[in-house]
């Protein structure tokens, strides 16, 4: 079989498929790059829940529950050096104004009614959890079960697992699936998937992030993922071993991956309003990637022909949804559909399958 795409999802599928006894060739001109290299690594389906978005919540929560076992299995397969792929446990979404505080109450009520644990925190409780946050924070929403992973440690482990499982990696771009000599093809090429399977409703959405490195004496980084809206713009701080990942902008700008002055300015200004001491950090990297978005924010995971299975359209949640995507794709290759991923069937869009 062939896997087209060498991001987190493609590498994970290739590793697990080879581990199960299949002969696998993975095609990507630059494995372990693209959106997977840029990602913040938040696993936050609960705190991002919103009334009416049941499909997004359910598939995200099902994948979050699979993450501890997936990470343990990957560490064993990669011969991990001991670096923990998880960079944070628990996420804290905070409100800086009355409207955002009401939104947090709405999320807490709706997600809680679906059976998931969320806790509203008052101003004093927020500061007890994260003392570096601004005194202007009004309310917090704690999701203890949510996680964050270091995407670059994850990619490193996946590359070792792929090599250990005997996957043949071909570093070239596939321009036509018909050129591949494989009985089964998994199309996991992110935003490039629509070029290889016309009619697949996946589009690129640009996102810029900044990586901030701690310096001696700086305000300590948060221990949780911290998320907020500042002047209507979403911002998040994700802890890393050497500092903070700060994200993320979102632009409908085609295939442009240039980092803009305005994007950097807004991210830094919003982050400083959320965590005043962040200005002491070193600006170590600015980078942009292209998220593969679907029209309804649910990925496309399913068979689109007798020969092709698609695994794309994961948007901002590619790393979160990796474990359930792998399970669903391996099931489809064996002729079994995974019930927990039923909402991701590409047949919900006309023209995706043929």
Question: Beta-strand (E) ranges in 264-315?
Answer: 282-293, 300-303, 308-312
pLDDT 10s digits, 289-325 = 999 999 999 999 999 999 999 999 999 999 999 999 9
Q: Looking at the DSSP assignment, which residues form a beta bridge with residue 148? A: 42, 88
Q: Would you say 9 and 185 are in contact if contact means Cβ atoms under 8 Å apart?
A: no
Distance CA 152, CA 240 (A): 10
Percent of the chain with pLDDT over 90: 96
Instruction: Find the Cα–Cα–Cα–Cα dihedral 190, 193, 194, 195, rounded to 10°.
Output: 120
Q: Would you say 131 and 140 are in contact if contact means Cβ atoms under 8 Å apart?
A: no
User: What one-character DSSP code corresponds to residue 211?
Assistant: E
Predicted confidence at residue 172, as pLDDT, reads: 97
Average pLDDT estimate for 202-229: 97
Average pLDDT taken over every residue of the chain: 96
What 3-state class would DSSP assign to 37? helix
pLDDT 10s digits, 149-195 = 999 999 999 999 999 999 999 999 999 999 999 999 999 999 999 99
Tokens 């600006």 sit on residue: 283
Predicted confidence at residue 19, as pLDDT, reads: 97
Confidence band of 82 (pLDDT split at 50, 70, 90): low
CATH 1.10.3720.10 fits 2-39+152-201+295-348, yes or no: no
Predicted confidence at residue 353, as pLDDT, reads: 77
How many residues are given for the chain?
A: 354
């Amino acid at each position: 079989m062939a896997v087209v795409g060498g991001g987190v999802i493609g590498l994970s599928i290739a590793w697990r498929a080879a581990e199960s006894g299949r002969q696998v060739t993975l095609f990507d001109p630059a494995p372990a790059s693209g959106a997977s290299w840029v990602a913040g690594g938040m696993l936050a389906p609960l705190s991002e829940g919103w009334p009416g978005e049941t499909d997004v919540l359910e598939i995200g929560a099902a994948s979050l529950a699979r993450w501890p076992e997936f990470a343990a299995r990957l560490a064993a397969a990669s011969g991990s050096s001991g670096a923990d792929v998880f960079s944070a446990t628990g996420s804290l979404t905070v409100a800086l104004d009355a409207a955002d505080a009401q939104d947090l109450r709405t999320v807490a009520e709706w997600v809680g009614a679906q059976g998931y644990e969320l806790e509203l925190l008052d101003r004093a409780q927020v500061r007890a959890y994260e003392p570096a946050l601004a005194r202007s924070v009004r309310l917090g929403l704690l999701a203890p079960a949510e996680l964050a992973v270091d995407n670059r440690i994850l990619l490193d482990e996946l590359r070792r697992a792929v090599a250990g499982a005997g996957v043949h990696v071909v570093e070239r771009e596939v321009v036509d699936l018909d050129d591949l000599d494989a009985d089964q093809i998994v199309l996991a090429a992110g935003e490039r998937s629509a070029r290889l399977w016309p009619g697949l409703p996946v589009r690129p959405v640009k996102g810029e992030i900044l990586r901030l490195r701690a310096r001696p004496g700086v305000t300590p980084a948060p221990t949780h993922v911290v998320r907020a809206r500042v002047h209507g713009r979403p911002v998040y701080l994700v802890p890393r071993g050497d500092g903070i990942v700060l994200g993320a902008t979102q632009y409908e700008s085609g295939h442009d991956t240039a980092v803009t002055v305005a994007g950097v300015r807004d991210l830094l200004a919003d982050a400083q309003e959320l965590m005043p001491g962040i200005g002491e950090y070193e600006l170590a990297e600015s980078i942009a990637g292209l998220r593969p978005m679907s029209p309804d924010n649910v990925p496309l995971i399913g068979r689109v022909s007798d020969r092709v299975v698609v695994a794309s359209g994961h948007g901002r949640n590619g790393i979160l949804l990796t474990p359930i995507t792998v399970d669903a794709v391996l099931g489809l290759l064996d002729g079994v559909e995974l019930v927990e991923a039923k909402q991701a069937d590409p047949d919900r869009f006309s023209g995706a399958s043929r």
